[in-house]
Amino acid sequence: MTHVYDDPATFKDDVLVGFAAAYPGHVQRVPEASGFVRAGGPLEGKVSTVFGGGSGHYPSYSGVVGTGFADGAVLGDLFASPSAEQVYRVCRAADGGAGVVMGFGNYAGDRLNFKVAADRLVAEGIDTRIVYVTDDIASAGADKVGERRGIAGTFTVYKVAGAAAEAGLDLDGVERVMRLANARTFSFGVAFDGCTMPGADEPLFHVEPGRMDFGLGIHGEPGITSDDWMPAPALAAKLVETVLAERPADADGRAAVLLNGLGATKYEELFALFGPVHRLLVEAGVTLVQPEVGELVTSLDMAGCSLSVTWLDDELETYWTAPADTPAFRRGAAVANNRFTERREVRAAGEDDAVPEASEESRTAGRVAQRAVAALSASVEEHKEELGRLDSVAGDGDHGIGMSRGALAATEAADRAAGAGGGAQTVLAAAGAAFGDKAGGTSGILWGLLLSQMGTELGNDDAVDGPRLAAAVTTSAERLQEFSKASLGDKTMLDALFPFVEALRQGVDAGRPLADAWGDAARAATDAAQETASLTPRIGRARPLAERSVGTPDPGAVSLGLIVTAVGEVLAGPGA
């Protein structure tokens, strides 16, 4: 149960403010961003490591910003990916001129947002590498390691990468070491009870009393298999056996071992478990190198814990045992780095408020786009609770809140851009950027990109008619699919988007008026959204949720149906 909060909507920001106040000796907040860099700013010539993901995992990730660990941390809302804009701002502030290695757990929303930010950083001349962590054995088989989620093993992988950067390795070197650490890190966990979001009355899930769920997630996802409660030695055996089963052939036995508590499973319990874990590992020939028992990657007040093993070689051992000095994790005598002595100023992200020129026709289209954004926002607002309920079946129930936050920000941005005489492209680009930044998560990045791409297709010069709009929608949808195909499964808003696009094109090609064609297409999208409630599990943040989602339509697809319906009413109305 979460008891301490003010307004749940501002919870993440309240946490950022309190954290910055507590540890000014270690961190500074990046201006206008939900993230931190080291108090002294970036070190000139040193590769920077920036780790991120949703909030709710403290001390991951803001708690490990400091010498020998992270150069920056970027935080999304509770359990939701930070927006690409936020990732970009923190990385830019953290860059010391030698490039950035980004780290995050393997979740769709994080992969999309960090990728967009990385592309932008590279375009600005900051060499940026992406390494996502895939340590969770339970989330996919050994033949699909790349599909595994990142859980508590992120801690070891990040620590090793941070130490490698601190030691002066170049960008290729830090990326290589971090990939090696990830490839040799395996975790398996058990959940006893779910966590409760601030302001919510009920946990995200319950474990049946007297049972244990194995294969937990760190975002309130329940486990994959269930078993009767077992005493600590039996639990230790199950965790150790599962993790050791993936011991690489070339591992010589040295290992960094974490026994991580998720929040409500306390230290005494962790030590009572670590006794038999330690004994079993030693019996299996494992040499534990500076193990850690405690709360390293939490999930609010979730009850549960996990065992992580990183098989060390000489290089990884050096970096794992290297000193670190951060708010929540300190090791050895970490002194100020004397390899890099010059500090950079922390750079805020640049802002360019000049409105590009636009033709009269495109400014007219821009005003229609403005009204369309306002209408979609109103519709999202009206259905916010319903979208939250749909999402809570297998997610964390924040889809409605996230979409609402994004849509309101998009409306404001579109109003400003249209008011300043922006054309279609300017209005939609502003709306898209604001949507992506404020909504966060997977939906945020997808809607942000969709709106921005539509703007790119429509431009600031030409008038917009039916065929032109249909073509723009089609191209934007294809771009979106291309962008997301590596990270998304097959039950998402795209399942409603493509039927919409197809119907819109057919209608326009048949010469029907735009408003009519759009209206029909919107109905097709709404139908398609309902059909996502099939027997096929959908891919959300976590594979293990799949079964629970059967029979409930995907909230992303439902909101797409709502949005195109609302936009259709604008197009059918006066002045369109």
Q: Residue 261 forms beta bridges with which residues?
A: 305
Beta bridge partners of 310: 185, 256
Which one of the spans 16-24, 416-424, 495-503, 541-549 is the region binding a second copy (CB under 8 A)? Answer: 16-24
Residue with smaller CB distance to a second copy, 402 or 459? 402
Pick one of 115, 129, 278, 438: the residue that binds a second copy (CB under 8 A): 278
Q: CB of residue 293 vs a second copy: minimum separation in angstroms?
A: 4
**Cα atoms in the 13 Å half-sphere on the side-chain side of 543:** 17
Piece of 1-9, 133-141, 337-345, 483-491 that binds a second copy (CB under 8 A): 1-9
Does 30 engage in binding with a second copy (CB under 8 A)?
no
Binding mask 333-362 for a second copy (x = CB under 8 A): xxx---------------------------
Cβ neighbour number for residue 270 with a 10 Å cutoff? 17
At residue 299, φ and ψ (nearest 5 deg) are -140, 70
287 binds a second copy (CB under 8 A): no
Q: Which stretch binds a second copy (CB under 8 A): 11-19, 28-36, 386-394, 418-426?
A: 11-19
Of the CA atoms within 13 Å of residue 288, those in its CB half-sphere come to 19
35-38, strands of its sheet edge to edge = 27-29, 35-38, 72-78, 48-55, 100-105, 128-133
Cα–Cα dist 499/250, whole Å? 50
DSSP secondary structure, 429-476, as one string = HHHHHHHHHHH-HHHHHHHHHHHHHHHHHH-SSS---HHHHHHHHHHH
- List 48, 83, 113, 298, residue binding a second copy (CB under 8 A): 298
Cβ distance to a second copy smaller for residue 269 or 462: 269
Enumerate residues 35-54 that contact a second copy by CB under 8 A: none
Q: Cα dist. 150→106, 147, 184, 316, 490 in Å? A: 5, 10, 13, 19, 21
Is residue 25 near a second copy by the rule CB under 8 A? yes
| DSSP state, residue 342 | P
Near a second copy by CB under 8 A, which window of 103-111, 229-237, 449-457, 467-475? 229-237
State whether residue 220 is helix, strand or coil. coil
Q: By CB under 8 A, how many residues form the interface with a second copy?
A: 67
- 152 lies in the site for a second copy, by CB under 8 A: no
Q: What is the distance in angstroms between the CA of the first residue and the CA of the last residue of the chain?
A: 49
| Structure tokens belonging to residue 196 | 């409760």
Among 192, 483, 500, 518, binds a second copy (CB under 8 A): 192
Among 47, 174, 235, 374, binds a second copy (CB under 8 A): 235
Active site residue 399: no
**Per rule CB under 8 A, is residue 513 in the interface with a second copy?**
no
Q: How far apart are CA 411 and CA 425, in angstroms?
A: 15
Give the pair of three-digit tokens for residue 166. Answer: 């601190």
**Measured between alpha carbons, how far is residue 23 from residues 66, 89, 333 in Å?**
11, 21, 19
> Interface with a second copy includes 563 (CB under 8 A)?
no
117 contacts a second copy (rule: CB under 8 A): no
Taking the complex as a whole, how short is the minimal distance between the CB of residue 12 and a second copy, in angstroms? 8
272 binding a second copy? (CB under 8 A): yes
Token code pair at residue 230:
């077992």
When asked if residue 294 is in the footprint of a second copy (CB under 8 A), the reply is: yes
User: Hey, which bits of 127-206 come out as E strands?
Assistant: 128-133, 185-193
Does residue number 291 form part of the binding site for a second copy (CB under 8 A)?
Answer: yes
Could you say which of 193, 221, 437, 569 contacts a second copy (CB under 8 A)? 193
CB 463 within 8 A of CB 425: no
Which residue in the set 31, 142, 208, 266 belongs to the binding site for a second copy (CB under 8 A)?
266
> d(Cα 77, Cα 402) in Å, to the nearest integer?
9
Using alpha carbons, select from 255, 287, 261 the residue that is nearest to residue 273.
261
Q: Which of 26, 57, 219, 278 is catalytic?
A: 219
Sequence letter at residue 201:
D
Binding a second copy by CB under 8 A: which of 41, 233, 421, 537? 233
| CA–CA gap between residue 368 and residue 428 (Å, rounded) | 10
Residues 459, 464, 466, 469, Cα dihedral to 10°: 20
Which residue's CB is nearer to a second copy, number 15 or number 164? Answer: 15
10-18, 88-96, 160-168, 486-494 -> range binding a second copy (CB under 8 A) = 10-18
List 48, 55, 86, 426, residue binding a second copy (CB under 8 A) = 55
122 makes contact with a second copy (CB under 8 A): no
Q: Binding to a second copy by residue 64, rule CB under 8 A?
A: no
Minimum separation from the CB atom of position 244 to a second copy (A): 17
The window from 97-105, 263-271, 430-438, 531-539 that contacts a second copy (CB under 8 A) reads 263-271
Task: Kindly tell me which of 123 and 333 has the beta carbon lying closer to a second copy.
Answer: 333
> Which residues are the active-site residues?
219
Question: What residues make contact with a second copy under the rule CB under 8 A?
Answer: 1-7, 11, 14-19, 21-22, 25, 55-56, 58-59, 63, 78, 192-193, 198, 212, 229, 231-233, 235, 259, 263-275, 277-279, 290-295, 298, 300-301, 303, 305, 325, 328, 330-331, 333-335
